[in-house]
Amino acid sequence: VFPDQMRAQALGFMGEDPAITPNLDRFAHEGVALTQAVSNYPVCSPYRGMMLTGLYPHSNGVLANCNTNGAENGYELAADTECWSDILSENGYSLGYIGKWHLDSPRKPYVDTSNNSEEFAWNEWTPPDRRHGFDFWYAYGTYDNHDHPEYWTTHATRDERTRVDQWSPEHEADMAIRYITNEGGAYRDPEKPWALVVSMNPPHMPYQRVPDRYLDMYGDATDEELINRPNVDLEGDTPGARLARRHMKNYLAQCTGVDDQFGRILATLSDSGLEEDTIVVFTSDHGNCLGSHEEVSKNNPYEESMRVPFVIRWTGTMEPRRDDLLLSTPDIHPSLLALMGLEEEVGEDVEGRSRAQLLLTGEGERPTSQPYIWIPYGHPALGRRGVRTHRYTLSVEKAEDGTVTHTLFDNVEDPYQLENVAARQPQIVRALVEEELKPWLRRTGDPWLVE
């Protein structure tokens, strides 16, 4: 289960944002909660490409969001790229996908939907041969009307969409529950093991599209009570401050709504007697600044953007705990397959590393950093590359004019990343570049590195 744009700080048990998330808090005590997991390229399509393929963007072809700009540059998930879902399908699993896909670039004539115009488009149908083994399909490309979502079903054509008058996470939880209970074998082969992805859009903008029952849980909380991060200029009249004041309650209410619907899915697993036989993962494709550092949302190296929830539960097999493992997005693919006994099926080209033994036992070799990536459309050798360690976040930006800019945050001394110390700590910058960043770039064949 992965909602869109839910930052790690918006989990109640993390003790940061004043988020009301009782189901996730309980789930974290039942599973392994990775408190330092990140989205290496914190924006929708690149994350999804990495999560499914185990490959970093230059290897999987999803170098930026799948929209009109992405289409012009050929950015989308190729039909012949092997995903973990393809492997499960080949090994006898039924697979379901519910919600946001966002891995196919739009093509003309664009689908007539509110996310698309005649000039620029986001939403697109995914034909069956591009669904990577998911045989039950109830999904869309990207569509942000949370109150009135629309989906393409398994056998629908591009012109046939199902429109629903229900908050999208609630409707998607309904569909997940139907898939799990599978009355009359209507959703999957009851003789096969199964895997299901539920990709919710909230807590994504527009934040005001959230049921009142979740807003009411925050009562009359003030801006000062809800916005407790000093990297938001709460007293000022900046765009970031205005954004935070206008929407922090809405954002947290959406997080609470996602928590509520996730709880319903967990309850169905328990009531169906499937809890001990099911590995459950809750994560997100990226976080959300929502005014922190004057940033609107994501696609930057700040903690609010990069750090995501990641809790995995395998009741009776995986000992519950918190862990500061520096998990990277491509690690999800080989780790899940290894946990499911399919380690030998992982392709040799997969760039993520299996963390299955670490998840099971807490023991094993641990990475010392996570890469950070941002690629401007059409310029694969430019943009930002960096690393995040347990202490530091480094970002190095190359512009078209040859300018190189370094940003370094000491996340221990400065957890809200208020001061760029790159100029004062050149030795730390050099060490991180030589010992952490360059090895990542070599390993992933990133053209940003010129040696």
* DSSP H helical ranges for 296-398: 303-306, 332-339, 356-361
State yes or no: pLDDT of 182 exceeds 80. yes
pTM score of the predicted model: 0.97
State yes or no: pLDDT of 214 exceeds 70. yes
Looking at every residue in the chain, the average pLDDT score rounds to 97
Q: Which tokens go with 185? A: 């074998």
State yes or no: pLDDT of 397 exceeds 90. yes
State yes or no: pLDDT of 236 exceeds 80. yes
150 close to 162: Cβ distance less than 8 angstroms: yes
What average pLDDT does range 218-229 have in this prediction? 96
- What confidence tens digit (pLDDT) does each residue in 285-304 have? 999 999 999 999 999 999 99
What average pLDDT does range 5-20 have in this prediction? 98
CA torsion, ordered 84, 88, 89, 95, to nearest 10 deg: -90
C-alpha dist (Å) from residue 447 to 179, 321, 354, 374, 450: 43, 39, 25, 13, 7
> Length of the chain in residues, anyone?
451
pLDDT bucket at 450, cuts 50 / 70 / 90: confident
pLDDT, residue 398, reads 96
In the chain, % of residues over pLDDT 70: 100
pLDDT, residue 83, reads 98
pLDDT, residue 13, reads 97
149 CB contacts (<8 Å, ≥6 apart)? Answer: 140, 143, 163, 164, 166, 168, 171, 201
DSSP code of residue 94? E
State yes or no: pLDDT of 335 exceeds 90. yes
- Nearest Cα residue to 389 out of 38, 16, 13, 5: 38
Cis ω on the peptide bond leading into residue 203 (within 30° of 0)? yes
CA distance 243 to 241: 5
pLDDT, residue 212, reads 98
CA distance 401 to 291: 29
CA distance 354 to 338: 7
pLDDT, residue 177, reads 98
C-alpha dist (Å) from residue 284 to 201, 287, 373: 10, 7, 17
Residues 218, 224, 229, 235: is their CA dihedral positive or negative?
A: positive
- What confidence tens digit (pLDDT) does each residue in 339-394 have? 999 999 999 999 999 999 999 999 999 999 999 999 999 999 999 999 999 999 99
What average pLDDT does range 89-115 have in this prediction? 96
State yes or no: pLDDT of 451 exceeds 80. no
Q: Which tokens go with 448? A: 């940003």
**Locate tokens 């009776």: which residue?**
316
